[in-house]
Structure 1
Amino acid sequence: MSIPQTGGGPIEHHDQLAEHLAEGCKPKEDWRIGTEHEKFGYCKDTLKPLPFEGERSIVAVLSGLRDRHGWSEIREGGHLIGLEKDGANVSLEPGGALELSGAPVETIHETCDEVNTHLREVKDISDEIGVKFIGLGAAPIWQHEEMPLMPKGRYKLMDAYMNKVGTSGTTMMRRTCTVQVNLDFASEPDMVQKLRVALALQPVATALFANSPFFEGKVNGHKSWRGRVWRHLDDARTGMLPFVFEDGMGFERWVQYALDVPMYFVYRDGKYIDALGMSFRDFMKGELPALPGEMPMMSDWADHLTTAFPEARIKKFMEMRGADGGPWRRLCALPAFWVGLMYDQSSLDGAWDLVKGWSAEQREALRVAASVDGLQAKVNGINMHDLAREAVALSHAGLKARARAGAGGMVPDETHFLNALHESIETGKTPADELLDHYNGDWNGDITRVFSDYSY
């Protein structure tokens, strides 16, 4: 999850809110790729999740990365809660999952090198202390009470609020993991087209990367339990956002949406001030109950934008948020999939042609069906397997057209990063299907085998 935002000065007029988003517009040559991925840590011998502190713990892993691999520490309230280096961050999800928020880079080759380096560094530290990490969309066997809440003020506030507005917020915080990619836009019209395609095709990403068929030691009936969790979290800040597809969509329309998202907090002097359920519109009038008479800063607006959790969202860039955390090679496939669709105009236009005739009801139905049935989903004549085949083909064409070489020119483009998705299209099986095959086959119903067979 996001770290506190800084800078920007006071908000003096409403137009600054949309201007903040518009500042993200960049010419194509400056577009970048930022990949984020989360993974669960656990003790190798007990299969229990890592505590925050101790010999085998989150702090032990962070300290090792700091001391051995040159990361600088980030602290909150005296606690080591993150790291930073060369434009990248290592941070903690509420239940202790370790997240890499990668630096903005130009190619998938670079983002994959970054992911590989990070995972090698984590393995270097974790192997020494008897710790392992695994990429899954949901914790396969752990109960809520086994997951420690990390000592971050933001998480303490969110945790207290979640069960008041939905049924699965605390589950999302502690027991789900994702991989996402952050991409740029050139202009307001470009943002609108990309956001519409991103939202409409998030169910395809959910299906292709589905990797959470187990929960609390049982088969849960979903290919992506993480996707199911997000559907029952908080209707005021999640979902497929039908307004994005309506006439008049632009930065100001996103502002109006975000202003209606209830607040979580205001960050002041290193502390999170409780603003749960309060209105940023009131804040703009100096009438926020948590800070009466005080006007917001631009950093408050930037913080607030991080508390909306739709399937795709915009800040000064766009985030694709629909995929389960997964195995090593799919951590590069996710950014490749979206870069191929978004960073080549012909592929973007082709993707829009795929989805522009859908209704809001069809988009929502696809979201639901993707989490339940993965590539086998069918909605109102839309076959997810066929849709995924077309989307991956468009992405492949987009990456080929980009022609960004790697390995010193030895690899002509980025298309090979889609190989895992081509295999899923060919076989009809996603990671969730493979896990279920093992469960019903050589694992003989023993879900704990996922740890020995699938950890990094």
Structure 2
Amino acid sequence: MARDTLDETPIVDRAELIEHLRKGEKPVDQFRIGTEHEKFPFNLSDLSPVPYAGERGINAVLSELQVLTGWDVIAERGNVIGLADPEGGGAISLEPGGQFELSGAPLETLHQTCIEANGHLAQVREIAKSLGLGFLGLGVAPTWSRDEMPIMPKQRYQIMTDYMPKVGTRGLDMMYRTTTIQVNLDFSDEADMVRKMRVGLALQPIATALFANSPFIDGKPNGLRSNRAAVWLDVDLQRSGPIPFVFEDGFGYERYADWVIDVPMYFVKRGDAYIDATGFTFADFMAGKFTPLEGERPTMGDWVNHLSTVFPEVRLKRFLEMRGADGGPWNRICALPAFWVGLLYDSGVLAQAEALINEFDAEHRHHLWRTVPYEGLQTTVKGRTVQAIAKDVLSLASEGLKRRGKASGEASDERGFLTPLEDAAHSGRAPADELLAAYNGPWKGDIRKVFETNAF
């Protein structure tokens, strides 16, 4: 999750909230790629989750990483909770259950993104090995119960932990037992944002199917391809899901801002303190009705923080976050940004992707969102399988990457990063299918083998 801000610029009226989003617009030649990926730390000795404290805890890993990278420490009430690159703009943060997240720097090419990911994983492996730890690339913790998961010392997570059971049944699973790969992408103006958001939302289930990598939970298979995506079906539908209003006429910055304004808040940050704001919307805060700070109006920092607490399948900030993929191995970390950059960063390919999604109405999109977590690439919509649709989508993404022509070494462009996805679309087998085949075959039902096959 994003680092919370303390920008104290006062908000005078609603127009400033909309303008904040508009300020994300960039010229096409300044478009960048920001890749985020999470992973589970575990003890090599007994495959248990790793606590925050202790000589071999997460705090120790962060301390070693700080020495190795020289990055700045991010601390909260004396606890190290992350690291920030003062030059490149990247950061390392902790998810609620100790999941390590690298929020990558904004980079120009996918080649650079893959170098960044490989470098980070090499550093993490070096430190983890010395501490007797490993890191697991899987969308859901396969064997650990919710009660076994450690809790990171971040105030916002405690507020969320208390609130989640009030609005859904799976919010705590989302927080403590899932990981994802995401990519952050730019837009040139409001019309470009709308086009990319609609294509992103409509095709997010296709990405979910291709990246499905969480067929196990609580120590066994339970019939799903992406348990992570299924968890999101019942987290908090006030702030998550495929937000269908994006496809309505007139959608833009204003409509998105109005939606976020009416979503209940989690917290308000003042100094080092996080004030519980559940039960109040941002609209209440703007009207001076947030009783813990009676009469006080929000700041721009409050708005930025609140934007980070809505969780649609594509999230708008000053960039677009593509949020539909399970956590996975290193080649998937490189493949996720390749998939979306290929589709969204060439205007001609984007137009073809728009034509493709126009074949689906709201009912079709809802069906894909609800069904893909269970059936993956074999989901059927309008008489076609998601596998067949994925082939068409990947053909477009490949063309988009070819047109970019970003070369590196012997590679004339970035299309090679799509290979694991093309293999999955051709075979009809996502990572989850491969894991289930291994579990029912050579593993002979020993789920612990996943800590070998999917460790970084």
Question: In which range does the TM-score fall when normalised by the shorter chain?
Answer: over 0.9
User: Structure 1 CA distance, aligned partners of 2:358 and 2:214?
Assistant: 30
Match of 1:195 in 2: 197
CA distance in 2, matches of 1:358, 1:141: 37
Give the aligned residue type for 1:435: L
Q: Distance in 1 between matches of 2:395 and 2:6?
A: 40
User: 2-side partners of 1:173 and 1:73: how far apart?
Assistant: 23
State the distance in 2 between where 1:127 and 1:394 align: 41
Counterpart Cα distance in 1 of 2:6 and 2:419: 39
State the match for 2:333 in structure 1: 331
Q: For residues 359 and 230 of structure 2, what CA distance do their matches in structure 1 show?
A: 25
Identity value in percent: 52
Aligned to 1:413: 413
Partner of 2:291: helix, strand, or coil? coil
Which residue, out of 143, 146, 149, partners 1:144?
Answer: 146
The alignment status of 1:344 with 2:359, answered yes or no, reads: no
Do the aligned partners of 2:204 and 2:324 also contact (CA within 8 Å) in 1?
A: yes
Aligned to 1:240: 242
Instruction: Tell me which moved more, 175-184 or 78-87.
Output: 78-87
Distance 2:292 2:260 in 1: 19
- The answer to whether the Cα contact below 8 Å between 2:6 and 2:271 also exists between their aligned partners in 1 is no
**Structure 2 counterparts to residues 287-366 of structure 1, below 5 A:** 287-366=289-368
The aligned counterpart of 1:206 is 208
Q: Which amino acid in the other structure matches residue 39 of structure 1?
A: K
**Superimposed CA distance per residue, residues 151-204 of structure 1 (whole angstroms, 9 cap, x where no aligned partner):** 101100000000000000001000000000000000000000000000000000
CA distance in 1, matches of 2:25, 2:292: 33
In the superposition, relative to structure 1, how do residues 380 and 357 fare at CA in structure 2: closer, same or farther (>3 Å)?
A: closer
Tell me the equivalent position of 1:81.
81
What displacement does 1:277 show? 2.4
Is 1:27 matched up with 2:27? yes
1:37-436, aligned counterparts within 5 Å? 37-85=37-85, 86-407=88-409, 410-436=410-436
Q: Give the Cα separation in 2 of the matches to 1:8 and 1:264.
A: 18
Task: Kindly report the root-mean-square deviation, in angstroms, between the aligned alpha carbons of the 2 structures.
Answer: 0.9
Q: Which amino acid aligns with 2:296?
A: E
Whichever residue aligns with residue 317 of structure 2, its letter is K
**Where do 5+ consecutive residues of structure 1 fail to align?**
none
Q: State the partner residue of 2:442.
A: 442
2:451 maps to what in 1? 451
CA distance in structure 2 between the partners assigned to 1:335 and 1:435 by the alignment: 23
Task: For residue 83 of structure 1, report the CA deviation from its aligned partner.
Answer: 0.6
Deviations 1:222-253 (A, max 9, x none): 10000000001001001111100000100000
C-alpha displacement of 1:8: 6.1
Q: How many residues align?
A: 454
CA distance in 1, matches of 2:248, 2:258: 14
Q: Distance in 2 between matches of 1:8 and 1:178?
A: 31
CA distance in 2, matches of 1:240, 1:31: 25
Q: Distance in 2 between matches of 1:17 and 1:47?
A: 46
SS in 1 for 2:393: helix
* 8 Å Cα contact 2:51-2:151 kept in structure 1: no
SS in 1 for 2:293: coil
1:111 is matched by which residue type in structure 2? T
CA deviations 1:374-422 (Å, max 9, x no partner) are 1111123242011100111100000000001113xx3211000001111
AA of the residue aligned to 2:170 = S
1:329-374, Cα deviation, whole Å (9 max, x unpaired):
1100000000000101111111111112322121011012211111
Q: Deviations over 1:241-290 (max 9, x none)?
A: 11000001000000111112111000110211110121111111112122
Partner of 1:73, secondary structure, is strand
- C-alpha offsets along residues 98-144 of structure 1, whole Å, 9 cap, x if unaligned? 00000001010111110000000000100111000011000000011
SS in 1 for 2:91: strand
Letter in 2 for 1:329: N
SS in 2 for 1:75: strand
SS of residue matched to 1:290: helix
TM-score, length-scaled by structure 1 = 0.98
TM-score by length of 2: 0.98
State the secondary structure of the residue aligned to 1:287. Answer: coil
Q: Secondary structure at the match of 1:42?
A: strand
Deviations 1:34-88 (A, max 9, x none): 0000000000011000000112211111111011232221100110110111311
Task: Describe the SS at the equivalent of 2:249.
Answer: coil
Residue 3 of structure 1: CA displacement? 1.3
Q: Which amino acid aligns with 2:374?
A: V
